């Protein structure tokens, strides 16, 4: 009975503070900043590729910063690497398009970091966008011998380094 009364007391206390429901109190913690992306076109070496990033939030966000981090296989113009806004209003997404140029074949990654001040706390969300150029299987050269065991699982036997 003690746990039930504490739960009711917590809900009453939260309702006094504002419009808060039980799901907001006991839900899984996470950032209210959502990041979605869409890649336009087929990634090819040396060809510019547009990626549209949409930032959404169910609350007002102050001091929003959107930052792109690229690996060595992708080129992004320095002026496109960071974007900031004083405020992002409730349910009004911010849409940005970044143009990247793949410099070589392989599996590359464009990282998106978005952070903002929400009710006095800095909160963030991070998304890694995979960008595959060419056939990755052909590019990867495993060191060792690949065999199959009796269950059909792949096993890579690595050679011992003798010095």
Cα 87 from Cα 116, distance rounded (Å) = 9
φ/ψ of 107, rounded to 5, equals -95, 115
**91 φψ region: left (φ > 0), alpha (ψ -120 to 50), beta (else):** left
Mean pLDDT for the stretch of residues 10-15: 43
Cα 18 from Cα 12, distance rounded (Å) = 10
Task: Tell me the pLDDT tens digit for each residue of 103-131.
Answer: 999 899 999 999 999 989 999 999 999 99
Domain membership flag for residue 153: no
Given pLDDT bands bounded at 50, 70 and 90, which one contains residue 141?
low
35 and 25 in a single domain? The answer is no
φ/ψ of 99, rounded to 5, equals -105, 125
Whether the predicted pLDDT of 4 surpasses 70: no
Q: How many domains does the chain have?
A: 2
25 and 43 in a single domain? The answer is no
81 and 119 in a single domain? The answer is yes
If you average pLDDT over every residue of the chain, what do you get?
A: 79
Total length of the chain: 163
**pLDDT of res. 91:** 83
User: pTM value?
Assistant: 0.65
Given pLDDT bands bounded at 50, 70 and 90, which one contains residue 18?
very low
64 and 103 in a single domain? The answer is yes
47: closest CA among 56, 39, 37, 55?
Answer: 39
**pLDDT of res. 28:** 54
The boundaries of the domain holding residue 20 are: 1-29
**pLDDT of res. 142:** 56
Mean pLDDT for the stretch of residues 65-75: 92
Given pLDDT bands bounded at 50, 70 and 90, which one contains residue 74?
very high
**Residue 85 sits in a domain of what CATH number?**
2.60.40.10
């Amino acid at each position: 009975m003690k746990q039930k009364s504490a739960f009711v007391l917590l809900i009453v206390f939260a309702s006094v503070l504002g419009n808060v429901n039980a799901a907001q109190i006991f839900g899984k913690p996470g950032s209210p900043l959502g990041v979605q992306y869409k890649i336009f076109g087929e990634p090819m070496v040396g060809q510019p590729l547009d990626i549209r990033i949409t930032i959404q939030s169910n609350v007002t966000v102050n001091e929003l910063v959107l930052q792109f981090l690229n690996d060595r296989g992708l080129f992004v113009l320095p002026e496109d690497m960071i974007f900031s806004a004083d405020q992002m209003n409730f349910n009004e997404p911010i849409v940005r398009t970044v143009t990247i140029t793949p410099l070589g074949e392989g599996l590359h990654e464009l990282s998106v970091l978005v952070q903002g001040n929400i009710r006095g706390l800095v909160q963030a969300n991070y998304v890694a966008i995979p960008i595959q150029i060419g056939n990755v299987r052909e590019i990867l050269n495993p060191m060792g011998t690949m065999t199959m065991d009796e269950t059909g699982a792949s096993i890579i036997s690595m050679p011992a380094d003798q010095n």
